[in-house]
Amino acid sequence: MSHVRYRRLMAVDRDHVLRSAAALLTRKSTATMDEVARAAGISRATLHRQFAGRDALVRALEALGIAECEAALAAARTDEGPATDAVRRLVAEIEPHAGLLAFLYSENQLFEGEEQNEGWARIDESVATLFRRGQSSGEFRIDLTPAWLTEALYGLLASAAWAVAEGRVAPKDFTHMIVELLLGGVRRPAEPAARKES
């Protein structure tokens, strides 16, 4: 019984620590274990009891990021309706986690070789499948590979997260900025007199 109580308390704390760490590392990716602990309001010893080391912490954050991405993919129902709308929903779902994603994205570039978590491969595949679906349906152009579009989406998410964090762009525009640029590009569409497009 008390076991259960304690377990639950620890679980709650673990989640809180994880989110604090994510928020801190998003801003300062080189933060030390001591800083992470302090940011979570616990001591370094306790932090170390919950996560065997820095690697374990980062791996836990990676798992969290993967879980959030998969949740976002599921919530966005990327296989339903027009691919265009699915992309909009996906970006909107990911927006709250873009900071963590940006951290993990750059963290992955930090090491060469060193196989990455298989979860990312699944997510890459889901996103690429969405783009591929859009190409098949004729919504998307076919001269840009799904792999590149996937990478580009990550890059735009990270850029936007950093730009927002540093106050260079307004947070409220986050989803709009990314979706509009990704879908429509910067070139102004040649206005064909009047058309159904608003």
Of 5, 45, 187, 194, the one binding its own copies (CB under 8 A) is 187
Q: Report the b/e string of 61-98 with b at 16+ CB within 10 A.
A: bbebbbebbeebbeebebeeeebeebbbbbbbbbbebb
- Tell me the closest approach of the beta carbon of residue 51 to DNA, in angstroms: 8
Candidate residues 41, 56, 168, 171; the one interacting with its own copies per rule CB under 8 A: 168
Q: Which residue of 5, 45, 112, 194 would you call a contact of its own copies, by CB under 8 A?
A: 112
**Site map (CB under 8 A) of its own copies, residues 23-62, x = contact:** ----xxxx--------------------------------
Do the beta carbons of residue 183 and residue 139 sit within 8 Å? no
Q: Which is nearer to its own copies, 7 or 176 (CB)?
A: 176
* Least distance to its own copies, CB of residue 173, Å: 7
Q: Which stretch binds DNA (CB under 7 A): 33-41, 84-92, 116-124, 145-153?
A: 33-41
Is residue 27 part of the contact set for DNA (CB under 7 A)? no
CA dihedral 40, 46, 50, 53 (to 10 degrees): 90
∠30-174-24 over CA atoms, to 5°?
Answer: 20
Residue type, 129: T
